[in-house]
Amino acid sequence: MGRWRYLVLYSLGEFIILELMLVAAILYWPNFEANVDNLRALAAPIPALSDLLDTIEDTGILGYIAGQHFFKGCNTLGTAAAVLFAVGAVAGEVHRGTLEMLLSRPYSRLRILTERYVAGLVALSIPIFVTSLTIPALAERIGEIELLRPYLLGSLHQAIFLGAIYSLTFFLSCIGSNPTRIAIFVLFVTTLQFAIYMVKVVTHFSLYRLADIEVFVRIADRNALDPRIYVPLLGASVVLYGASVLAFQRRLP
Amino acid sequence: MNEAGVIRAEGLTRSFENLCAVHPLWVTIGSGGVTGLLGPNGSGKSTFLRMLTGLVRPHGGQALVDGVALKGDGTDIRKRVTYMPGEVRPYGELSGLEHLRWLVRGRTDEAWPRAHEIASQLGLPLERRVRGYSHGMKRQLFFAAAMGPRVRVRIFDEPTEGLDPTRRREVLELLLAEARDQGTTILLSSHHLGEVDRACDRTLFLRRGKLLDETATGNIHRRAQRALRVQFPPETPNEHLEQAASAVRDLEGIEVAEGSNHGRLTLFVEEGSDPKQVLASLFTSPNLPEPTSFVYGELSLHELYRELYGSEGV
């Protein structure tokens, strides 16, 4: 029960921060649009950043919102949330010494683990969708007309991407005992991945290429998810979930 | 054969890396009555109980609890029994009431009012957060939860550990009443001989994962009364004691206890056997000095426990 409360609170926290970031970003759009040349001059030393600005200039507010909301907001805060929601699932119980109590209830391990997996995934994804629902209304305040569908598809893609990070952390939680160590490890790896995105020569090795502005703009253009990206991501999540179940079945209390 | 309320272990065994925590164990418990699982720390009590409830997978053998075979993760068994773990670590952020409700979730409807009643009977402050509970109060909360559902088998891992004498007595009385009035099979582990003696009809002695002895609790008293302890000078070499022990082992109706050392030899003389025979054999043993004292039939339960387990049991 404690875990559900904690998930609801953290999910609410994720929603509030994402929404505040989104409101600020959308209301700033007119200024951004007016100063894009100055910003390009500032970003000149970082080629990857200049490329992002070029994409935004080509695609207008859609690319800008995709960059601010999905690439920046959801990828950073969402990754942290994915790690936070998953890391305590099993390792947290081991660390607190509550695993035996949890397992001695009249429920199967598969059910216990699946409930935890789904609850964390839902808590992680809901703020992404709910914040995206507010985009058309916010855009209207600055005189822009935005359709909802591209952002909902973007949210779905984002949730699938973060779901893979969540599943990786969940699996590590099923085989490890120290949630802090697992969280530091995953956050270190993801921060490194995010950092190399900005380095032009190695940017293609970054996982965040799978959830950057170009990907979201392509989804909006095609009005559909890109199966070359979401199928492997979903596959990875399924494999990691299966591995988590196997590891949890053998876990000692 | 009616297996309702029966716990049956058939060659149940479990190792952790190179250590065999429970050697193949064959035992049948119940139906009904209170059975104590006695042994020092590390004797395999908790592992055995965890195997019975599916929390630890056995490496061999099988178990049948209340007519249900242990399969997979033991969910089918845990639906039919209640289990109170030895390590009691609750979610501190919940109130006692919330925690108790959480612990009995998934049980029949009557589990909650009964668990609540027992918790109230034990005087637990259920409105308070569990993090403010003492160790003993946490154990009582888990005890109340394990007593709530109507089941035919209840398994407790050291249910009275950390309780004050008054609460300890209350808990044991509740267990006894449950076994007497409902015919429930109760299996509890403990390393307190006095407690097992008071509450249990039958005792299983475990040592280093092996079933050392199995007896009705009344027999423990009778056994203590038939114990012969011979004290030689403490510097007597253990191998000489061992030689003498081997010689008396051949005598009919004589059993040598484990933990014979420091010049002390404890033997159990079966009814109908003559302790004088044993003494004669020991007095004439070539390598042994003369005994400094011998006591027959005056061993306390605590001493008997020590004789069974050696120094680790003290």
Examine the pLDDT at A174 and tell me if it is beyond 60: yes
State the pLDDT at residue B307. 67
Answer whether A1 touches B (CB < 8 Å). yes
pLDDT digits (tens, 9 = 90+) for A78-94: 999 999 999 999 999 99
Given a contact cutoff of 8 angstroms between Cβ atoms, the answer to whether A193 and A120 are in contact is: no
Answer whether B235 touches A (CB < 8 Å). no
Answer whether B50 touches A (CB < 8 Å). yes
Question: What's the gap in Å between the CA of A21 and the closest CA on chain B?
Answer: 31
pLDDT digits (tens, 9 = 90+) for B60-83: 999 999 999 999 999 999 999 999
pLDDT digits (tens, 9 = 90+) for B237-248: 888 888 887 777
Tell me what the mean pLDDT of segment B178-202 comes to: 88
Tell me what the mean pLDDT of segment A126-140 comes to: 97
- What tokens were used for A144? 């822009």
State the pLDDT at residue B1. 62
- Which residue spans within chain B are E strands per DSSP? 7-16, 19-29, 33-38, 60-65, 68-69, 81-84, 153-157, 185-190, 202-207, 210-216, 227-231, 254-256, 264-269, 293-296
CA–CA distance, A105 with A194 (Å, rounded to integer): 41
- The residue with greater pLDDT, A27 or A253, is A27
State the pLDDT at residue A122. 97
B293-296 β-sheet, strand order = B254-256, B264-269, B227-231, B293-296
- What tokens were used for B191? 């390393």
Tell me what the mean pLDDT of segment B304-312 comes to: 63
Helices (H) and strands (E) in chain B, counts: 11, 14
Answer whether B150 touches A (CB < 8 Å). no
pLDDT digits (tens, 9 = 90+) for B102-141: 999 999 999 999 999 999 999 999 999 999 999 999 999 9
Examine the pLDDT at B280 and tell me if it is beyond 90: no
- What tokens were used for A202? 């190695």
CATH number of this structure's domain B7-215, picked from the four choices 3.40.50.970, 3.40.720.10, 3.40.50.300, 3.40.50.2020: 3.40.50.300
- The residue with greater pLDDT, A116 or B301, is A116
Strand partners, A248: none
State the pLDDT at residue B310. 61
State the pLDDT at residue A88. 93
Mutate to test the interface with A, among B15, B82, B91 (most CBs of A within 10 A): B91
CATH number of this structure's domain B227-296, picked from the four choices 3.90.380.10, 3.30.70.100, 1.10.10.10, 3.50.50.60: 3.30.70.100
Computed over every residue of chain B, the mean pLDDT equals 87
* pLDDT tier, A201 (very low <50, low <70, confident <90, very high otherwise): confident
Every domain of chain B and the residues it spans: 7-215, 227-296
Residue of A nearest to B79 (CA): A106
Residues 58-87, chain B: which have Cβ within 8 Å of A?
72-73, 75, 78-79, 83, 85, 87
Give the number of domains in chain A: 1
Residue of A nearest to B105 (CA): A105
Amino acid identity of residue B178, one-letter, is: E
Domain housing A157: 2-249
* pLDDT tier, B258 (very low <50, low <70, confident <90, very high otherwise): low
Answer whether A100 touches B (CB < 8 Å). yes
Residues 104-163, chain A: which have Cβ within 8 Å of B?
104-110
CA–CA distance, A240 with A245 (Å, rounded to integer): 9
Of B73, B98, B142, which is closest to A1 when you measure between CB atoms?
Answer: B98
Q: Do A106 and B78 touch (CB under 8 A)?
A: yes
State the pLDDT at residue B309. 67
* pLDDT tier, B233 (very low <50, low <70, confident <90, very high otherwise): confident
Answer whether B279 touches A (CB < 8 Å). no
Computed over every residue of chain A, the mean pLDDT equals 94
Examine the pLDDT at B314 and tell me if it is beyond 50: no
State the pLDDT at residue B313. 46
What pTM was estimated for this model as a whole? 0.85
